[in-house]
Amino acid sequence: DSGVTQTPKHLITATGQRVTLRCSPRSGDLSVYWYQQSLDQGLQFLIQYYNGEERAKGNILERFSAQQFPDLHSELNLSSLELGDSALYFCASSVRTGKNTGELFFGEGSRLTVL
């Protein structure tokens, strides 16, 4: 058990809809990362938050947004969903220090199916 909790584990919805994925990082971790895993794109970095602030952005679509709340949990919002958004969405957390070794702790993912 990594200590990172993601909900829901599975989600089925229709095209055009909006969903919210939630992540609770490990206790004490300030940094949250979101990744998307799909068959054709592999594991793609979406976005990172550190202590409530956006720190880095990757291949995140404009239809997607995220935030990190004062209690450090994070939410990834996916809107105007398309079939191609079907994927496994991972959240990971880490303690970001001056000499971060880069190890991330991953949740078990939220599997999104868009029909």
Partner 1 sequence: AQSVTQLDSHVSVSEGTPVLLRCNYSSSYSPSLFWYVQHPNKGLQLLLKYTSAATLVKGINGFEAEFKKSETSFHLTKPSAHMSDAAEYFCVVSEMDSSYKLIFGSGTRLLVRP
Tell me which residues touch partner 1 (CB under 8 A).
2, 4, 31, 33, 35, 42-43, 45, 48, 55-56, 58, 90, 92, 94, 96, 100-109
| Euclidean distance between CA atoms 101 and 94, whole angstroms | 10
Cβ nearer to partner 1, comparing 7 with 17: 7
**Shortest spacing between CB 64 and partner 1, in angstroms:** 16
> How would you classify the pairing of strands 64-68 and 74-78?
antiparallel
Cβ nearer to partner 1, comparing 17 with 100: 100
Cβ nearer to partner 1, comparing 36 with 81: 36
**Shortest spacing between CB 26 and partner 1, in angstroms:** 12
**Shortest spacing between CB 47 and partner 1, in angstroms:** 9
**Shortest spacing between CB 11 and partner 1, in angstroms:** 15
Q: Of 21, 28, 31, 12, whose CA–CA distance to 90 is shortest?
A: 21
Cβ nearer to partner 1, comparing 5 with 79: 5
